[in-house]
A = this chain, B = another copy of it.
């Protein structure tokens, strides 16, 4: 018999908290925000409603915590990948692929659910905005390091254009748009970006 049943309070707290947040994200991805109920989350996390009551005073607070949990994961994943990228033109294309991978996965799906919900929920919006801005800024920082020679201003433009394009494409993917077309569009955008990159580095205005 191991004494594996013994956990310190902090461990217990952290474990069920993480279980709840992960379950929340799963719910958002699988059934959507509108049908994500506390009961459903509890069932998936394997805890009772009393537990979530103990950790989060209201449902909105749980959602807010889920957002942070989510963006933390996304940030870490993007940061790791971006840091081992080659510099220069080929790096630009690779960076775009990475941004697409980051913004088209399940994590981003959950974020989109929360975003849209936050539009009409002031409390949720207040919770989301800062972490989202932090995610954007942190990612931008890594990206500008990759595109070293490019003027920061132009690198930022390229970055944000890519992010917004990617999010639009992710939305299309969620609705079941044509994957081949998305692939072609992304390739085309990479071509354009590399072209612009070359222009900006060889003939700076």
Contacts and interface: CB of A to CB of B under 8 A. Distances in A.
Interface in A7-42: 30-35
Contact of A175 (B109, B128, B161, B163): B128
Contacts of A109: 119
* Identical chains bound together, number: 2
B168 A121 contact: no
A181 interface: yes
Interface in A183-199: 184-185, 188-189, 192, 196
Counting contact residues on chain A (CB < 8 A from B), the size range is: 35 or more
Given A30-B120, A35-B120, A167-B172, 15 more contacts: A32-B116, A32-B121, A33-B34, A34-B34, A109-B119, A112-B116, A116-B174, A118-B175, A160-B181, A161-B189, A163-B168, A164-B169, A166-B168, A192-B192, A192-B196
Interface of A: 30-35, 109, 112-113, 115-121, 125, 128-129, 132, 157, 160-161, 163-169, 171-172, 174-176, 181, 184-185, 188-189, 192, 196
